[in-house]
């Protein structure tokens, strides 16, 4: 990790001069210079970090840490005094603070939580009880709830008292004495309604909600699908636990998309940023899939050995093996990437299986017709004869359609079996289609050549 010496000296000078505005401006400007604020802050000594926290104040320091990756923020927080770290965390949004505490070593995290105000610490402990990739792990308890018996004017007065502490006041949730979720009010409707209207008469009872243990991707999907600014998170007994706001969706979708892309590339997702990952971690994440793909691809040589006599009789058949299996693998990769992404955004579900397969069959036939014409022309140009040219032309249509069907149906079936469809990665589909493509090729060759 390297940082610009001028930026580092400028930061140190701003700390010595006690100028928080200059510090914030310098850190904000780093993104435009392709340098991460965390890389600069980590270069400070422990004494300089403590002085920085003092100059910025707990609230601004919390904002700065909240803009960093949780891993980087945790590294910096651990270098502060326990009480200073506790004070900074208390000024942060609870969901951001929980993400950072979750990256701190357990003993250090326990010390910091002990130093915090009891209510604030208990709030973080409740959030940390949920896995980080669930709705409960993403929610914030900073929401506004009111009793159904309040009048509209009383609710507005109550909102003024808690607006600063809430994550959002666009939605006001209605709960009973046991915190069961009964309904929701929009701020817009609340301020326009007659003052003496009871909340129970104003609230919307059919509330879109998500269970605390649901995958975070489900929460993001519901928020986008219903065009909401926030979604309530409830437990199995419908107690309101927290909310997930629209600004959290970008982080969720970025994380989920990153995981899907890594799986589509034939690798297990990293649990930390790439730059922080050691080579041994990268090795562990990749080697299993490589071995699986290696053994899965071993049957290709078995197929070739089985059809050895055919190859010896018509050597020209071997000329087109790379083109045929490469075409099938490319088609499979295109389809599986499209289907997995469509499933991730809720565009394709299990009930759409037949529709998807039919669509890909039609598309495959059209693609195969184009590739067949090109393959037939290529074979004739190579002078292998009409018989072999017909074999490769027919084979490419069958392989393209087969690859499209497999790549379309397999991810959907895996999702139904509660398996992440992204594991049907492009390398896996390519390996599968390679072997089956050879079976199709030599089977077609036998049928065509024996009939001519």
* CATH 1.10.357.20 intervals, the chain: 274-451
Q: Which CATH superfamily is domain 274-451 in?
A: SLC41 divalent cation transporters, integral membrane domain (1.10.357.20)
pLDDT band at 440 (very low <50, low <70, confident <90, very high): confident
Query: What band does 3 get if pLDDT is binned at 50, 70 and 90?
Result: low
DSSP 174: E
The count of C-alpha atoms lying within 13 angstroms of the C-alpha of 413, restricted to the half-sphere facing its C-beta, is 9
pLDDT in tens, 96-149: 888 888 888 888 889 999 999 888 888 899 888 888 888 898 888 888 889 999
**Continuous segment of H or E residues that includes residue 314:** none
Span(s) in the chain for CATH 1.25.60.10: 5-129
Question: How far is 113 from 108, CA to CA, in rounded Å?
Answer: 9
Q: What is the mean pLDDT of the chain?
A: 81
pLDDT for 68 equals 81
Position 235 scores a pLDDT of 92
Contact 277, 242 (CB under 8 A): no
- 3-state secondary structure labels for all residues of 370-402: HHHHHHHHHHHHCCCCHHHHHHHHHHHHHHHHH
Q: Which two tokens stand for residue 209?
A: 């909600």
Output the pLDDT for position 148: 92
**CATH 3.10.580.10 domain locations along the chain:** 145-246
**145-246: CATH architecture:** Roll (3.10)
In this predicted structure, what is the pLDDT of residue 4? 67
Distance CA 328, CA 372 (A): 12
CATH class of 5-129: mainly alpha
Distance, CA of 48 to CA of 55 (rounded, Å): 10
Distances (CA, A) of 192 to 185, 186, 202, 230, 323: 12, 10, 11, 21, 68
CA distance 384 to 371: 18
| Per-residue pLDDT tens digits for 190-214 | 888 888 889 899 899 999 999 999 9
Number of H helices, E strands in the chain: 21, 6
| Both tokens assigned to 272 | 């930390």
């Amino acid at each position: 990790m390297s940082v610009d010496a001028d930026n580092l000296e400028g930061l140190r000078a701003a700390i010595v001069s006690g100028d928080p505005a200059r510090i914030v401006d310098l850190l904000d400007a780093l993104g435009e210079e392709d340098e991460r604020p965390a890389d600069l802050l980590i270069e400070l000594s422990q004494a300089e970090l403590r002085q920085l926290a003092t100059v910025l104040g707990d609230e601004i320091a919390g904002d700065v840490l909240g803009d960093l990756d949780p891993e980087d923020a945790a590294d910096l927080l651990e270098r502060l005094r326990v009480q200073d770290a506790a004070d900074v965390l208390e000024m942060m949004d609870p969901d951001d603070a929980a993400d950072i505490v979750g990256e701190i070593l357990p003993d250090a995290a326990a010390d910091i939580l002990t130093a915090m105000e009891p209510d604030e610490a208990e709030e973080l402990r409740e959030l940390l009880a949920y896995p980080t990739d669930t709705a409960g792990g993403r929610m914030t308890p900073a929401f506004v709830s009111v009793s159904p018996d309040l009048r509209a004017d009383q609710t507005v007065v109550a909102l003024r008292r808690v607006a600063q502490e809430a994550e959002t006041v666009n939605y006001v949730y209605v709960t009973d004495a046991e915190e069961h979720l009964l309904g929701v009010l929009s701020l817009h409707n609340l301020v326009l309604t007659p003052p003496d209207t009871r909340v129970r008469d104003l609230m919307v009872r059919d509330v879109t909600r998500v269970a605390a243990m649901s995958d975070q991707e489900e929460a993001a999907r519901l928020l986008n699908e219903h065009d909401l600014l926030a979604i309530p998170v409830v437990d199995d007994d419908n107690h309101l636990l927290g909310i997930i706001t629209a600004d959290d969706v970008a982080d969720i979708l970025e994380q989920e998309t990153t995981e899907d892309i890594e799986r589509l590339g034939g690798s297990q997702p990293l649990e930390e940023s790439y730059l922080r990952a050691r080579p041994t971690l990268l090795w562990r994440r990749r080697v299993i899939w490589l071995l699986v793909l290696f053994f899965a691809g071993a049957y290709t040589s078995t197929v070739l050995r089985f059809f050895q006599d055919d190859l010896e009789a018509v050597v020209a058949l071997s000329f087109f093996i790379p083109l045929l299996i490469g075409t099938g693998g490319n088609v499979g990769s295109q389809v599986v990437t499209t289907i997995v992404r469509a499933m991730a955004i809720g565009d394709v579900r299990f009930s759409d299986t037949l529709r998807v397969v039919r669509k890909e069959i039609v598309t495959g036939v059209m693609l195969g017709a184009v590739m067949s014409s090109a393959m037939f022309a290529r074979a004739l140009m190579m002078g292998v004869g009409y018989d072999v040219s017909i074999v490769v032309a027919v084979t490419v249509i069958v392989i393209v359609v087969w690859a499209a069907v497999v790549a379309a149906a397999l991810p959907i079936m895996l999702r139904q079996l509660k398996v992440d469809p992204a594991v049907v990665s492009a390398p896996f589909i390519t390996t599968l289609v390679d072997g089956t493509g050879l079976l199709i090729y030599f089977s077609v060759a036998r049928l065509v050549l024996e009939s001519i």
